[in-house]
Structure 1
Amino acid sequence: MSSSNAYPIGIAGMKWNDTDRQAWRDSTSIKREYQQEVVPKIEALRARFDVEQYGALSYDENRFPLFCIKTKTWDANKPIVLITGGVHGYETSGVHGALQFADTQAEKYAQYFNIIIAPCVSPWGYETINRWNPLALDPNRSFYADSPAEESANIIKLVKSLDQDVFIHFDLHETTDTDETEFRPALSARDGIEYVPGTIPDGFYTVGDTDNPQLEFQAAVIESVRQVTHIAPADEHGQLIGSDMVQDGVILYPMDALGLCGGVTTCVYGTTTEVYPDSPTVTDGECNDAQVAAIVGGLDYVLSVTERT
């Protein structure tokens, strides 16, 4: 990847002010509609699941209600599985993969788990195909107390409303070529720092928690996804996106310290999936399938561990 000479908003080396943030917001436009592409899929599940509204975004509460999907056989004796999609709204398979899992697999696993799915955490980002929210804040760096990002604050509130701790958390993401062509240059401009070009991994990988990596669990996710799409190889430095690859297709981040969605719970098992949708050998459907395979692989692993113990 190569860097552009300058990002078109702001002054090089200076953090954005309110005028710059407004200029960035004015540069965005609606490219697809949450109410047409996502909400109908959620509504179609009402007969089989408990669909609840857990909040709404103040930018337009009627346009952006926030929904979660819960298995009907909720039982305090079963562990909770949380699935979050669309924390970065532009990462399409995170949203539609979560919905596909609900439609095709969730009922199968409901006999073992209480499952709650928030398929589109950032609907404004979904509509504008954007990483940030309208305030130029990254929801996936905003999972902390008194979060200024409504998207993150609403998920934090949802997690706190549950009657027990989350046991397993899948946070569904994508790494796209636009991370380098648009989103990282914008981040550098916003923060007044130099943009240093990076590389995008060619394939699927996961991000585990540095403080609780659960590498066997991560490996099970990788092996399940391998049946659907290719796994990202390490670069010449043995890394993926600047982090050491600790095993095939797996890197680690300090989830809580970075304010990531993966740190919103104290789960025993957690992973952040990263699908690569820009490969010429992968279709949109296969990207959704990879997200479903990741969840299935992780759940099957946890069930196998339970049987052994």
Structure 2
Amino acid sequence: MSTLVSGGLMVDVNLPLTQLHMVQAARRYYLDDASKVQIAEELGISRFKVARLLEAARDSGVVRIEIVDPGAVKDQLSQDLRERYGLRHALVVDVEALAGGEKLAELGRAAASLMQRIAQPTDVIGLPWSRMVAQTVPFFEGLPPVPIVQLSGALDLPAHEASPVDVVRDAARLTGGEPRVFYAPLVATDAEAARVIRAQTAVAGTLDEARHCSLALVGIGGWSEGESTLYDLATEDERDELERLEVVGEIAGSLFNTDGEPVESGLSARLVSMSPRDLRLITEVVAVSHGAARAEALRAGIKGGYVTSAVVDTELARALLGAPADASASSTGR
């Protein structure tokens, strides 16, 4: 076989001239990033002929183009998750190829897209503090201009992280809605301090408005170190108590056990947030989360009636689908 080198690659010169030009043009264009004008000069043909050769290369299968979308929705996994857990909506997003920050942003983009699909002009939207909620809000543009209500107090966060007040105001600015916020910590020093804070006019008024929310976006906290900010803030005695009570997760400050039932404890008495009962009454609650470590928490959150729809990565979806079949949807009838 006679060969020549083109762009560092071997080409069979026994091919018909047109096919030889097609292969050479394709290699120079797709592998060497050469322009059509450059290729035309090298082959002694017009750039219009180069364009036709490149089109023929694609049509004949000489060039095969594969587009990898790292944020693509996995339709079958989404359907399986929706059916398995009785969810109204489920989106499983493939972010495995992305780095940490890009992964969270892509999940946030998908969650915002779902919110845009289901939000109605008559809704009242609730947002608690959550890192995943903060990742989602920048993509809220396009939602209807409805009231946006803060569902939980603030944590002591690094300076670069948004507080729940920031998140709610950013969401309102992007949608044109009205923000309803309050300034208070999520975790008070003790139960009496939490009671006093919850009784303050601004706090009580906003949490009362939260009872009128019809749509909410929440994150999921798994009850273990690094999986929940609340866990990290709890005292050793509180963690021991919650372990005895079989707490597996928290959503917007609501602690719940493996059956999804709310848990009253020393820590929950210190929280300034929407009550578990009121959270369960919201018509549509979209949870956005990632990582297999949060599977038990999300499963219990769905079972307990806190979550009606979910946006998750493939890792979390596979962990949920690998669970026993009886760990399914809530019996709350929402």
So what's the TM-score if we normalise by structure 2? 0.29
Greater RCO (CA < 8 Å, at least 6 residues apart): 1
